[in-house]
Amino acid sequence: MEKTLTPTMEDYLEVISNLKKIKQVVRVKNIAQELKIKMPSVSETLKFLSKERLVRHERYGKIELTKKGNELAEEVKSRHRTLFKFLNEVLEIDPETANEDACKMEHSISAITLKRLMEFLESVKSSS
């Protein structure tokens, strides 16, 4: 029943979640800066995410994730963290590149691969 989101939509949820943690109030401008796109693009996409009940947002107001939106954001962020950890700690990629790669790969990795990657990280940790 889970309608799957596009990579772009996943990025929005992730960014909103991250901004919320450091800024208490999230605004269109913050999201635009973070995603390096223009405000009208953000306005437009927020309409879609509101329609899907993933964010709450009234004209000129602050932006918040719904319960559902937050759950999805946490999922994406978990994928991101796992990938980042692998890239940075195992492959010893510098944090900036590891972050960029994680940002892109987090949208295409399958559930099984993610699970195995987490298990792999566990096993590496315990043998160090």
Partner DNA sequence: TATAAATGTTAGGTTAACCTAACAAATGGG
Partner DNA sequence: CCCATTTGTTAGGTTAACCTAACATTTATA
Q: DSSP 3-state assignment of 57? A: strand
* CB closer to DNA out of 25 and 124: 25
Which residues 63-122 are close enough to bind DNA by CB under 7 A? Answer: none
Q: How many residues does the chain have?
A: 128
Residue range at the interface with DNA (CB under 7 A); choices 25-33, 82-90, 97-105, 112-120: 25-33
Closest by CA position to 66, among listed 19, 18, 16: 16
Answer with the entry of DNA, a copy of itself, none that 48 interacts with (C-beta below 5 to 8 A by kind). Answer: DNA
Answer with the entry of a copy of itself, DNA, none that 37 interacts with (C-beta below 5 to 8 A by kind). Answer: DNA
Q: Residues near 45 by Cβ (< 8 Å), separated by ≥ 6?
A: 8, 9, 12
